[in-house]
Structure 1
Amino acid sequence: MAFPAEDWRVLNPENALIYETTKGRIIVELAAEMAPGHVARVKMLAREGFYNGLSFHRVVSDFMAQGGDPKGDGTGGSDQPDLRGEFNFRRGAASNFVRAVDRGGATIGWMGTIPVTSQTDLLMERTSDKKVAAWGNHCLGVASMARGSDENSANSQFFLMRAAYPTLDRRYTIWGRAVVGTDVIRAFKVGEPVVDPDKMISVRVLADVPETDRPTVMVQRTDGPSFQTKLKATLEQRGAAFSNCDLAPEGRIVR
């Protein structure tokens, strides 16, 4: 398969996690611009080997798969301090945002692979920082941080979306999205708690994998002609019901 530059980009290995699980491989692109504190945390824990061997202890069929708890029961975390919520972020004109449609005073689109809703660009001229409020959307494959009742209680536990769940938006911090392995996420054994759960064999920053073993991943550009053709067709089909969860950029392992 050819990967023309106008349609595809190479996934930055420093900005990705690779999960080897009992059901297969997942590769998550990280969203550092949206949630820098959470991205730094999951990368640090991955580099410490914290997640290796931990289970997906809570998996709900048409919802999400939760893991990252050393106790395996939803009550544990790392020895690091809890994180402040990063439910919203500021988007400027230089942000890598690709618009899908404007609706109800908001703009729906993507930043990289992450589905995002934002205030419109028109408001940028009215703000002191020339930016507008934006937030990620919990679509299939999105990686988000679990927390307790305190908004600032996220630590090490996270969840991977098995379906769209918009009621989580602006309440939980999105820090990435699976570009490879959404089928793996949906294949995890279900339960609350899970009996004999699936596990993370290893979790590494992709850049830390030796070059001879490191997969090269191509990711579809949302601003490329191929994706834009799909977007146009989906908008025509879905009309007012369109959501940026209806369409996701593809990821392909090429080596």
Structure 2
Amino acid sequence: MKVIGVGDNVVDMYLDQGKMYLGGNALNFSNFARELGVKSSFIGNFGTDEIANYAKRALNKLNIDISHSHTLNGENGRSRVALKNHDRVFIDSNNGGVLKQGLNMTSRDIDYINQFDIVHFNINGNANQYLTNIKGPTLIYDFSDLYEINDIKRIAQYIDIACFSVGSMSDQNISKMVKEINSFGIMDILITRGSYGAYFFHDSKRYIQKPVKVTVVDTMGAGDAFITSFVIKYKETDCIEESLKFAAEYASQQVQRHGSFNNPEKIPSKYNVI
């Protein structure tokens, strides 16, 4: 199996630690897949600043293929973060940096993506215009907690598994949301709920996964870890219950470390000033 993330890479700067870590929904997907022993690649935009140089150094060490990514003049995606009761809180960001210029994928890039088993798109990836070109891979789309129902409806026909983060949303409202999304033709829906666990809906049937109780260090990347491990195991086994359990255990490991990646570097001093 091989997988690819398409869209955002973000360098998360933890001001309380003075360290920066790689992140971003699509890049997290690629990295967590690599951790799980799956060959992974990433397509996105990198800037020309020192933050982009850090990102590329880290990815080269991790053996994540970024050969189809593009380097554009400007700032790499970045955010500044603090921890509050072990929960990551975003202070500010540059809203994706050079990703705002557009992903601008070529036909060669599309052909490359279509060789993979799973492709991950997301609401922050600025790549929706390419969904119609994806032919072959299982397409995962992460709407996070930033979705509007009309946005889902517009792209539903391209999505195999839709993912949402809903926090403490009531079961009644979740069921209502799922029913509406089903009406758009998406029958596989993964809903992560933080410390409340997760739901997976398959053909309207709900499967429940309770959280694994651990001492939380940092919640950064927990949802991405759950999504990645679930879809990989689901693709391998076609067993929902086994995949949910596997994902809960993997996500519980993620919240016991800082940041989404294990290759932090010191934050450049100019970003430490608020």
- TM-score w.r.t. the length of structure 2 is 0.24
Higher relative contact order (CA 8 A, sep 6+): 1
Structure-1-length-normalised TM-score: 0.25
Between Structure 1 and Structure 2, the one with more strand by share is 1
